Amino acid sequence: MLAYIRYSPFQAFRIVSSRRPQGIMSISAGAGDPTDPGTAFKLLLSCPSGLPASQVFVNFDASYDRIPHPDASLEESINEIWNRRVQGNPSLYSGLKFRYGDHTVQYADGSDKISSICLHLGLTDYRSFVGTNLNPLWERFLFPSADDSLCCQHTSSPLGNGAIVETSDGKILILQRSHNVGEFPGYFVFPGGHSEPQEIGISSHCADKGTIQSDLINQKVCVEMFDGIIREVVEEIGVPAISLASNYLHLLLTYDPNIMPTAFFFLRCNLPAEEVREFYSKAQDGFESTQIFTVSRDDLKKLALKMPGCHCGGLALYDLMTETLSSHT
C-alpha cells in the first residue's frame, strides 16, 4: 500500500511489510518539513552498510514498462501536458529512462542481513513522466491495490538517482536548485539525476533476445546504475571522476507527492571542500543549480526543511549509515 506518513525530521519510525516472500522488510516514512507535502518520503529498501555492484542485479524486461490507463481522456492528458510544456520550453526532449517496476531481496541464511537485491526495470520516457507523475491528476493514474507495483502500473516512475558525496575533510555536498527548473525550484538537493538507457545502447526492448543476450543486457543495465551516478556528480559538481570512490547503493525510496522512485548511493571524494567549490564553478551542468554548499552533518539537517522528499530520505539514510559505522567501531 502506498501510504505516506509525515512527522518531524528524522523521528525514528518503522512499518513492516510482508508482501515479499524473501523475508520481512522494514520500511521508513517521513518528511523534512511536516507542513510541506513535497518533502515526504517512504523508504522501500534500506541498506545502511551499502551494497556494492556485485550484490546488485537487474531484470530488464518489457513486462515492467508502464501500462496505459484504460481511461482514454486521462491518457490523452499526457500529450496535452507535454505539448504545453514544449510550447513554453522548445528545448525539452523526451529522452528514454529506466522505469522502476519493483525489486526483490535475498537475505543471508538465518539473518535479516541483505545479501543481494534485484531491480525490476522497464523503459519509459520523459514525456510520460511529465504527463503521469507530474500530472495535476496524477492520483487518478494510481490503481487501487496494496501491491506497489500494481498501484503504480499506469505511471511512468523513472528510476532516479542521488549521491551523498563526502569530501576528504568530512563535508557533504549540497546543491541549491535553480528557480528556472520545473521541479522543486530553489530547494536544496544532493547531486543526481537518472541513469540513461542510451548510454549503453538501449533504445527499445529486444523482442527475440535469448537467455545469454538477456543476461548480458541485464549486466550492462546494472553497471549503468553505478556508472550513471558518477556521471551525474561529474556533470553537476565538476569534479573529476577519478576523485570519486566507494560507490555503494544504500536504498530505494519514493516520495509523495507523485510516487517517484530514487536509488541513493554514497560516494567519497578525495578532494577537500575548497577544491570541490573551485571545480563547481566550471561544472558542465550549470542550468539546474545556482550554488554549492559544503556542509557539516549538523548543518545538513538544517537544510532538510527545504529538501524534496527523496533527498530527505537520502539524508535519513545517511544518518542510519553513520550510526551503523559507529556501532562497528
Dump pLDDT digits (tens) for 228-277.
Answer: 999 999 999 999 999 998 778 887 777 666 788 999 999 999 999 999 99
Cis peptide, bond prior to residue 257, ω within 30 of zero = yes
Q: What is the predicted pLDDT for the residue at 171?
A: 96
Spatial distance between the Cα atoms of 32 and 223, rounded to a whole number of angstroms: 31
All three cell numbers of 151, joined, read 498501484
Spatial distance between the Cα atoms of 172 and 295, rounded to a whole number of angstroms: 5
Residue-range domain boundaries for the chain: 15-327
Q: Is the pLDDT of residue 28 over 80?
A: no
DSSP state of 228: H
Cβ atoms within 10 Å of 94's Cβ, excluding its own: 16
Strands, sheet with 96-107, edge to edge from the N-terminal-most edge strand: 56-60, 114-125, 96-107
What is the phi/psi pair of residue 252, to 5°?
A: -115, 140
- Which of 112, 129, 124 has its CA nearest to residue 22? 112
Dump pLDDT digits (tens) for 157-184.
Answer: 999 999 999 999 999 999 999 887 777 8
Q: Which fold has domain 15-327?
A: Nucleoside Triphosphate Pyrophosphohydrolase (3.90.79)
Dump pLDDT digits (tens) for 281-310.
Answer: 887 666 788 899 999 988 988 888 888 888
What residue has cell string 524473501? 22
Dump pLDDT digits (tens) for 106-140.
Answer: 988 877 888 999 999 999 999 999 999 999 999 99
